[in-house]
Amino acid sequence: MNIYDLPDKQGHFGPYGGVFVAETLISALDELREQYDHYRNNAAFQNEFANELKHYVGRPSPIYHARRWSEHLGGAQILLKREDLNHTGAHKVNNTVGQALLARRMGKSRVIAETGAGQHGVATATVAARYGMQCVVYMGSEDVRRQATNVYRMKLLGAEVVQVKSGSRTLKDALNEAMRDWVTQVENTFYIIGTVAGPHPYPMMVRDFQTVIGTEAKIQMQEAYGKQPDVLIACVGGGSNAIGLFYPYIDDQSVRMIGVEAAGKGLETNKHAATLSKGKPGVLHGNRTYLIQDENGQIIETHSISAGLDYPGVGPEHAWLKDIHRAEYVGVTDDEALAAFHALCRFEGIMPALESSHALAYAAKFAPTLAKNQLILVNLSGRGDKDMATVAQMSGIAL
């Protein structure tokens, strides 16, 4: 049996990943790679990380059987990995704790981050406060307007929020701007990327920090059900919550893995963010991966009801898992996600993030095609409090 062991030393997952950056960034990435290679296998570091996840984040997150909803759907049993119960309300904090601890060991006093919806920005501002670091968050001016509450949360936590007014003024432009900050102030600054994107070692490092999701799930499933799930389902923006759940299962071919992208107003329209379904391979943000682009190779704006999935790229490891057919990637529309959001509220008393609602929507479609004794594990990547304004607006309700 082949043991999955990627990326290679240069950060490649097959033809994807790698280091596609200007020379000015190379030494910063070299330093990061060397330091991370060291701490990746350092027991003291890993213990500190585990300890923080337990006492600060509140891990392990439970697996919950959505019994009433499963019965209503009339097929496989749907189980939820409750990342929504983490401190700050999403899986994002697993990664920011890991990177902040690394930043501290590297002697960096300032952390920066990009954010779209503001979830990763909040998770970064949170750990920066926790460890006493200066924090600057880059956010597209379009997103600042759309996500005013999260901007205020970041400020309450002591972060400076910088509005990015270039390009499409959204997440991808915030990432560009954070990279520009990093090259200019690399001596004292650590760039905390929020998903499994960017140049090597980021896709590997963020995956490693998020793998706690799947590692816990394997143990919890064995304990509670005496077996592993038949299917894993997770939403894919950049792909960090999905890879966090999938990674420990990659060598276990009996477990199907399904990533759900945002199909927005429909895959046949040009208003979606379904990078793996509709994109083509190319180079952006330091790695080779699938991208939503026009015929000239310009990156084009994406659309999704959920800001966290609204990204024109995708982590290179997902690109590879797609090509080798180890994982499947499907699309779920805004309307389908919204229906799943309401269903989970009503059947289980859990308000999911709109990102996670995409995974739930696919589970709802898929469950009836399976037998009642089969198990689907859905990564409930975050809670929906942040999305109330969007949901109200979509339903034509003024708050």
Partner 1 sequence: MNRIAQTFSVLQSNHKKALIPFITAGDPAPALTVELMHSLVNAGSDIIELGVPFSDPMADGPTIQRSSERALKHRVGLHDVLSMVSEFRKENMRTPVVLMGYANPVEAMGYKYFAAQAEKAGIDGVLTVDYPPEECEEWVRCLEQHGLDTIFLLSPTSTQSRIAQVAKLAKGYIYYVSLKGVTGASHLDLKSVALRLEELRAVISIPIGVGFGIRDGKTAGAVAKLADAVVIGSRIIEEIEHSPQNKLLSNVAELVARMREAIDAQRS
Ligand X SMILES: Cc1ncc(COP(=O)(O)O)c(C=O)c1O
| Among residues 4, 8, 10, 346, the one that binds partner 1 under rule CB under 8 A | 10
CA atoms within 13 Å, Cβ hemisphere of 10? 13
Please identify the residue of the shown chain whose CB is closest to the bound ligand X.
382
Candidate ranges 21-29, 116-124, 265-273, 375-383; the one touching partner 1 (CB under 8 A):
21-29
Mention every residue, 6+ apart, whose C-beta is less than 8 A from residue 251. Answer: 1, 2, 3, 4
Segment interacting with ligand X (CB under 6 A) among 137-145, 268-276, 337-345, 350-358: 350-358
**114 has catalytic annotation:** yes
User: Which 155-214 residues touch partner 1, going by CB under 8 A?
Assistant: 166-168, 172-173, 176, 179-180, 183-184, 186
Q: Which stretch binds ligand X (CB under 6 A): 19-27, 104-112, 235-243, 273-281?
A: 235-243
Q: CA of 123: how far to CAs of 2, 91, 334, 347, in Å?
A: 36, 9, 25, 29
CA angle 272–274–277, rounded 5-degree value: 130
381 part of the active site: yes
Q: For ligand X, give the closer residue by CB, 176 or 379.
A: 379
Q: Which of 28, 235, 276, 367 binds ligand X (CB under 6 A)?
A: 235
Stretches 114-122, 157-165, 289-297, 388-396: which one binds ligand X (CB under 6 A)?
114-122
Terminal CA-CA length for the chain: 56
Q: Tell me which DSSP letter residue 4 carries.
A: P
- Quick check: is 328 catalytic? no
| Residue 311 and residue 116 in contact, taking contact as beta carbons nearer than 8 Å | yes
**Encoded amino acid at 128, one letter:** A
Does residue 61 interact with ligand X by CB under 6 A? no
CB of 203 to partner 1, least distance (A): 15
Question: How far is Cα 395 from Cα 18, in angstroms, rounded to an integer?
Answer: 43
* Residue 28 touches partner 1, criterion: CB under 8 A: yes
Assigned token pair, 150: 């999260």
Length of the chain: 399
Strand-strand pairing, 63-65 and 77-82:
antiparallel
- Site residues (CB under 6 A) for ligand X? 90, 92, 117, 119-120, 195, 235-242, 308-309, 353, 355-356, 381-382
- Site residues (CB under 8 A) for partner 1? 10, 18-28, 30, 166-168, 172-173, 176, 179-180, 183-184, 186, 280-286, 291, 293, 295-300
